Amino acid sequence: MSKAQNVFGTLRNFDLGNGRQGALQALPQLEKAGVGPVSRLPVSLRLVLESVLRNCDGQRVLEQNVRALANWQPTGPRTEEIPFVAARIVLQDFTGVPLLVDLAAMRSALARLGRNPKLIEPLVPVDLVVDHSVQVDYYGTAEALGKNLELEFNRNRERYQFLKWGMQAFETFKVVPPGIGIVHQVNLEYLAQGILSAPSTINYQLSTIFYPDTLVGTDSHTTMINGLGIVGWGVGGIEAEAGMLGQPVYFLTPDVVGVHLTGALREGVTATDLALTVTQMLRKAKVVGKFVEFFGPGAAALPVVDRATIANMAPEYGATMGFFPIDAECVSYLRATGRSEEHCRIYENYYRAQGLFGMPQKGEIQYSVELELDLAMVVPSVAGPKRPQDRIELPNMKREFAAAFTRPVTENGFGRASADLDKSFPVSAQAGFEAGGGIRHGSVVIAAITSCTNTSNPSVMLAAGLLAKKAVERGLQVNPLVKASLAPGSRVVSDYLERTGLQQYLDQLGFNLVGYGCTTCIGNSGPLPAPVDEAIGKYDVIAASVLSGNRNFEARVHQSIKANFLMSPPLVVAFALAGRVDIDLSREPIGQGKGGENVFLKDLWPTLPEVRDRMEAALKPEVFRQLYRDFAGQNPKWNEIPASGGNVYAWDAGSTYIQEPPFFQKFELQPGEIREIKGARALGIFGDSVTTDHISPAGSIKPTSPAGKYLVERGVAVEDFNSYGSRRGNDRVMTRGTFANVRIKNLMVPGTEGGVTRCFAGKDCARPPGEPVSIYDAAMAYQREGTPLVVIAGQEYGTGSSRDWAAKGTALLGVKAVIAQSFERIHRSNLVGMGVLPLQFKEGTGARTLKLDGTETFDVLGLGPALKPQQDLTVRLTRANGRVETIPVTCRIDTPIEVDYYQHGGILPYVLRQLVCP
């Protein structure tokens, strides 16, 4: 039990509504005490301030931190860092397993040093939801769910055994087993409480202190919970580990962009259309690294499920959060999803006592910038073919696909001749597979109702079911080329789709249930039918996917599909019926009905009353209570998995899934010194928008890749490779998979795709210098001769999902610095967290202007013990002809604590040393 801090005299009681009193750190008292004008701060910042105030202990969190945040200036300089102690942590299995591997490795390191391994123990509750591992191998049949689950357990048995070890080894580590749902939907519907409490002593008296539910998660879309007025965002696994072990998550004081919402969505416009509109608008407004807070009458009128859809896409618009303040809608949602009456009363009373209840109106709060959006202006939209911010109004889809078809690849197009657009290609027949009428550019080959973004929102899921019903009644069918699937983020969705009788119509169109997990959204779309895949490869077809997800970067959805469009679930069904994306659904028929008559989208689109009538079936508290209890009892396959015991994990050298990583194997109690980097070689030179998926792919492993060869050498059959995401517990696979995305383009080897580079390692390398070789092989050759490496990149390096293996793999390949034109927020901090130096070119400079081709060597000068955040450094470039140039760069170690992390070789060695020698 902790002693409540009362540095500013802000501890107060409030009425719990059940005749009892609870304690809180009262933010209004802070203002009364003259500390700062707290009541004018954005709500999201006040919630962070509560955490800073409550954890102000003079060590991790200082009085100065409270004062600085309480006096936040809307347009002030952003130099102060905020130490944020999150109340809990959520993980998904792709990121959670490697995180648990790191914790286990730290325990092993302590055991080797003769220290108590139990020093490594999460200090806050940690929930891991197993959602990323289910793949769509089976579809279009009633057995798909069971068979996919069976395969998932077969493929992931070792990982699940390891998770079970973690459940018994760590006291506050809980697992939601496979087959239950998607982490962010499970968080919204079940894990999130909105208000938390802990026993505490106040003036030597036993009391209960209440505080806002806040979290960080090892998944970018953790922001979805912002829709319920909860502060939380995605962090790298390494930061989450530090957070678990008592370190605050540090971030630069943000700008807060207020988005004033007015009006209401028109008939026929969905929350997905709104989310895509907001994404495009906020990308243009450059909100990267900022908090976004929605307010005004339009925000107040949106139900929590719509707010959550918009909040979910915060990473796509680049914001740290897309936050909606707390109001009566939040209470209604908590009540409707099975939280108790007493809990809802405490929740409301707490936020009223804090002056934080109710949607702010214009003029009440000072934001850094205010933007306006009239919801009535939103129109049906999709986004693609390669980026979520490239919104297309539905009637323009045909024109936009044709434009993208011929646009250069460098401008997010496909660089094809317009004469090729209308060509059609044969697809060979195969037992059990009808070839249909052949395949064209723009043919839909995957249609997936997927992703927590949308499956947590009953209005769009019911709309998909209603559209399917009308289509079936009109006699429409889905082309056999389309691999259709339905993968909700919780079993509640199936309950209401069954209850409303709509699932049967989705089934008839092939949208059978395939699993409760991320599936297509994370690229686990499973194989296409062989004849389709062959035809795409043979004729180089620009095939399309349509999905209700939030990401559509190349090769994310499926390696063979180049055009990927995000859209609402009812539009996914509509495009599956149309069978192609180059269609104007506002004018052209979607298909022909029973009598040969043309059927248009408007004939099938559900009306608002039709959706509203069925909404009651969707939010039944007793269903949530029943489905979110006794996971183990409801999941016999999980129960069958054996668990090993003990506080220290018994590593199995033969495992191809779980290996002890090298991060702590030579751990020393004293850190080294910061030194200049000398004589480095370029491992890769990349263009703009290199994603974390390019750096560390999550999808399938090619047998001919270094990771594939490693697995084959260890007797793993190709069909048992599983995905990179599922093998993140094995650093040997992941290091070999770094930069191994089949679509990554290394400009050192122009005209190629995949993880290839030129290697100039001298001794100990059999190949002639400069010959193309895999990035992994080159990195190992450089490591053998002790040559440090750098990576050169363009704008937005590391954009996309938070993926700590993108930084871990980079570090393990021997990369000492990444020099980019700009960095994505989480990846930059992950690089520092792994001891890799992020350096930023000055405006107007980059690989192209410097004419770099990889034959150069690089020295990073000015690095030393006196390193300061964002200090200017110099890169000395020596060209192949001996000419030397110096380039000024900014060191993107942004905060003082990051200097410490860098000096210690990363955040985890830093934390471990703090624990061992506090």
Binding site for ligand SF4 (CB under 6 A): 92, 131, 182-184, 219, 221, 451-453, 518, 521-522, 549-550
State in angstroms the smallest separation of the CB of 515 from ligand SF4. 11
State in angstroms the smallest separation of the CB of 452 from ligand SF4. 4
State in angstroms the smallest separation of the CB of 652 from ligand SF4. 29
State in angstroms the smallest separation of the CB of 742 from ligand SF4. 20
| Alpha carbon separation from 379 to 268, 375, 382 (Å, rounded) | 8, 9, 10
Write the DSSP string, 432-447.
TB--TT-EETTBEEEE
**Per residue in 438-448, is it b (16+ CB within 10 Å) or e — as a string?**
ebbbbbbbbbb
CA nearest to 295, candidates 351, 363, 360? 360
In angstroms, how far is the first alpha carbon of the chain from the final one?
21
| Alpha carbon separation from 649 to 102, 123, 479 (Å, rounded) | 11, 20, 50
522 or 779, CB closer to ligand SF4? 522
CA nearest to 261, candidates 293, 283, 234, 287? 293
183 or 690, CB closer to ligand SF4? 183
Spatial distance between the Cα atoms of 200 and 2, rounded to a whole number of angstroms = 5
566 or 583, CB closer to ligand SF4? 566
Helix, strand, coil percentages for the chain (3-state, nearest 5): 35, 20, 45
50 or 131, CB closer to ligand SF4? 131
State in angstroms the smallest separation of the CB of 455 from ligand SF4. 8
CA angle 651, 728, 101 (to 5 degrees): 40
CA 804 to mean position of chain CA atoms: 11
State in angstroms the smallest separation of the CB of 315 from ligand SF4. 9
State in angstroms the smallest separation of the CB of 578 from ligand SF4. 24
CA angle 759, 761, 766 (to 5 degrees): 85
What are the strands, taking DSSP E only, across 222-365?
231-234, 249-252, 256-262, 291-295, 321-323
State in angstroms the smallest separation of the CB of 727 from ligand SF4. 17
Spatial distance between the Cα atoms of 517 and 177, rounded to a whole number of angstroms = 11
CA dihedral 212, 218, 221, 222 (to 10 degrees): -10
**Per residue in 239-260, is it b (16+ CB within 10 Å) or e — as a string?**
bbbbbbbebbbbbbbbbbbbbb
What are the strands, taking DSSP E only, across 390-547?
391-393, 424-425, 439-440, 444-449, 483-486, 544-547
State in angstroms the smallest separation of the CB of 129 from ligand SF4. 9
State in angstroms the smallest separation of the CB of 912 from ligand SF4. 29
State in angstroms the smallest separation of the CB of 228 from ligand SF4. 16
218 or 500, CB closer to ligand SF4? 218
* Per-residue 3-state assignment (H helix, E strand, C coil) for 583-640: CCCCCCCCEECCCCCEECHHHHCCCHHHHHHHHHHHCCHHHHHHHCCCCCCCCHHHHH
State in angstroms the smallest separation of the CB of 551 from ligand SF4. 7
139 or 414, CB closer to ligand SF4? 139
451 or 903, CB closer to ligand SF4? 451
107 or 556, CB closer to ligand SF4? 556
184 or 307, CB closer to ligand SF4? 184
Those residues whose C-beta lies under 8 Å from the C-beta of residue 848, and which sit 6 or more positions away, are none
452 or 585, CB closer to ligand SF4? 452
State in angstroms the smallest separation of the CB of 39 from ligand SF4. 35
66 or 310, CB closer to ligand SF4? 310
Alpha helix segments (H runs only) across 714-766: 731-737
- Per this entry, what is the length of the chain? 918
Spatial distance between the Cα atoms of 484 and 662, rounded to a whole number of angstroms = 42
Q: Are 756 and 772 in contact (CB under 8 A)?
A: yes
Spatial distance between the Cα atoms of 321 and 318, rounded to a whole number of angstroms = 9
139 or 295, CB closer to ligand SF4? 139
183 or 740, CB closer to ligand SF4? 183
69 or 91, CB closer to ligand SF4? 91
Spatial distance between the Cα atoms of 381 and 383, rounded to a whole number of angstroms = 7
88 or 107, CB closer to ligand SF4? 88
Spatial distance between the Cα atoms of 723 and 13, rounded to a whole number of angstroms = 52
- Per DSSP, 779 falls in state H
Q: Are 349 and 340 in contact (CB under 8 A)?
A: no
State in angstroms the smallest separation of the CB of 181 from ligand SF4. 10
CA nearest to 705, candidates 732, 742, 758? 742
Helix 237-244 and helix 804-812, axial crossing angle in degrees, nearest 10:
100
State in angstroms the smallest separation of the CB of 508 from ligand SF4. 25
State in angstroms the smallest separation of the CB of 131 from ligand SF4. 6
548 or 659, CB closer to ligand SF4? 548
487 or 908, CB closer to ligand SF4? 487
CA nearest to 834, candidates 608, 664, 678? 664
State in angstroms the smallest separation of the CB of 521 from ligand SF4. 3
